[in-house]
């Protein structure tokens, strides 16, 4: 028989997944706005961030209310604690999508240039990580969460390569810095999204297994 606590926990899960889907869409739009030099799409990302912020606050309030009302234990407590943490991670990813969109909107007004690095490859990898950590959350899949965690090293390596390529480009032609520096910043934002996806993966492992894995090999 479903208790009031379990019903509210299930509703909470639905809300955090709804926020995750909204954040995932925001990142996708931000990436497309860069790839297609689409200032209108970039503006949509910025305009929609208020909804992400509102949902993040509502979910935090729901978590605190459930904790106060039911004083849950065991798996229910772990899930609510994890939601409090990954709720913040998702909101931060939304902010990073806005940061990408802001750079994208500025770049759309510049003379088109060739991408200085494999932007699509890096963006695809980061979006796969974000989708994967949300899938792991939906299914409470610790093994998938571990795979997402392992992928972070690949994004870190791509990010280091971006720095090398951008600075080599500036050395060759300093006038290109107006385009290259924003692209470097976009790569940094993508790398931070991957970091937050990794944090979410760790929270899924905590929820499933009851062990804190942050700062540890998984």
Instruction: Collect all residues with Cβ–Cβ distance below 8 Å to 35 and sequence separation of at least 6.
Output: 119, 120, 123
- How many Cβ atoms are within 10 Å of 151's Cβ, its own excluded? 20
The reported pTM is 0.93
For 4-209, give the CATH class. mainly alpha
> What mean pLDDT do residues 139-151 have?
94
Q: How confident is the model at residue 114 (pLDDT cuts 50, 70, 90)?
A: confident
> What mean pLDDT do residues 183-193 have?
96
Q: How confident is the model at residue 1 (pLDDT cuts 50, 70, 90)?
A: very low
Query: What's the confidence (pLDDT) of residue 109?
Result: 83
Percentage of the chain modeled with pLDDT above 70: 96
Instruction: From 127, 137, 122, 124, select the one nearest 202 (Cα to Cα).
Output: 137
Instruction: From 87, 156, 94, select the one nearest 125 (Cα to Cα).
Output: 156
Judged against a pLDDT cut of 60, whether residue 174 lies above it is answered with yes
For the record, the structure tokens of 73 come out as 């234990």
Radius of gyration for the alpha carbons in the chain, expressed in angstroms and rounded: 19
74 Rama sector, left if φ>0, alpha if ψ -120 to 50, beta otherwise = left
Alpha-carbon distance 61 to 52, whole Å? 14
pLDDT digits (tens, 9 = 90+) for 47-83: 999 999 999 999 999 999 999 999 998 889 999 999 9
For the record, the structure tokens of 41 come out as 């799409």
Q: Please, is 167 exposed, middle or buried when counting C-beta atoms within 10 Å of its C-beta (0-12, 13-18, 19+)? A: middle
């Amino acid at each position: 028989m479903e208790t009031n606590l379990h019903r509210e926990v299930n509703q909470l899960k639905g809300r955090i997944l709804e926020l995750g889907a909204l954040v995932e869409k925001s990142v996708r739009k931000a990436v497309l706005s860069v790839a297609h030099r689409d200032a209108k799409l970039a503006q949509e990302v910025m305009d929609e961030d208020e909804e992400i912020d509102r949902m993040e606050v509502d979910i935090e309030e729901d978590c605190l209310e459930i904790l106060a009302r039911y004083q849950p234990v065991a798996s229910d407590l772990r899930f609510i604690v994890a939601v409090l943490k990954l709720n913040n991670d998702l909101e931060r990813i939304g902010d990073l999508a806005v940061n990408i969109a802001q750079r994208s909107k500025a770049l759309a007004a510049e003379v088109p240039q060739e991408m200085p690095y494999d932007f699509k490859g890096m963006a695809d990898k980061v979006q796969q990580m974000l989708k994967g950590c949300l899938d792991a959350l939906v299914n409470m899949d610790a093994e998938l969460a571990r795979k997402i965690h392992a992928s972070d090293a690949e994004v870190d390596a791509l990010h280091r390569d971006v720095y090398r390529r951008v600075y080599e480009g500036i050395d060759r032609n300093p006038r290109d810095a107006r385009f290259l520096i924003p692209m470097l910043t976009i790569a940094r934002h993508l790398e931070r999204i991957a970091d937050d996806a990794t944090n979410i993966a760790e929270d899924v492992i905590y929820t499933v297994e009851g062990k804190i894995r942050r700062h540890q090999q998984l």
